[in-house]
Amino acid sequence: MASLFRIAIFASGQGSNFQTFVDATQSGRLEAEIVLLVSDKAKAPVVERAQRAGIDSYVFDPKAYAKREDYELEIAAELERRQVDLVVLAGYMRLLTSVLVDRYTGRMINIHPSLLPAFPGKDAIEQAWEYGVKTTGITVHLVDGGMDTGAVIAQKAVEIRNEDSLESLEEKIHAAEKELYPQVVSWFAKGMIRVEGRKVSVLQK
């Protein structure tokens, strides 16, 4: 029997997307194994979620290191020890250096709550709301070391209606994330992703 596709999830906060992946793997919707949570906040609720799910955590204090590359070398060792196939960023609030990005080129993904390249960076939902756009959405993209600049894998549009509030828009965005993100990881697990420069294709199987 073939071993399951192995993923590590990086998260810094509540862990709602992390929980989505836990639920998807447990239900069989996603044929993969979460082998590690990486977090930069020991007291983040996502760490408790991992404990409840029986998933190993690597938690570190960035302030204990002279520079980012130092703790990323330790993270890289943890990922390699667990033979991680894909790194999934899910609310991880730190820019990565080449230490991790270069090792996992084409095998590290992030989700952003806008239709990139519109509204990169922090507070993307609020940016879209205040700008007055009629359609926003979510983007799953490869990580290349820039601020939300990696090649786009998949996007899902979310309409902003007259009756929406910022809070209702946030709810719709999060619902879209829970649907799309596990689906993209399943494409990786099934070997359906092909990357050619900035063009990412999803092969049919």
Residues noted as catalytic: 112
Angle at 199 between CA 193 and CA 205, to 5 degrees: 25
| CB distance 197 to 142 below 8 Å | no
Which residues are CB-contacts of 127 (< 8 A; sequence separation ≥ 6)?
114, 119, 121
Tokens of 185: 């990881």
| CB distance 8 to 41 below 8 Å | no
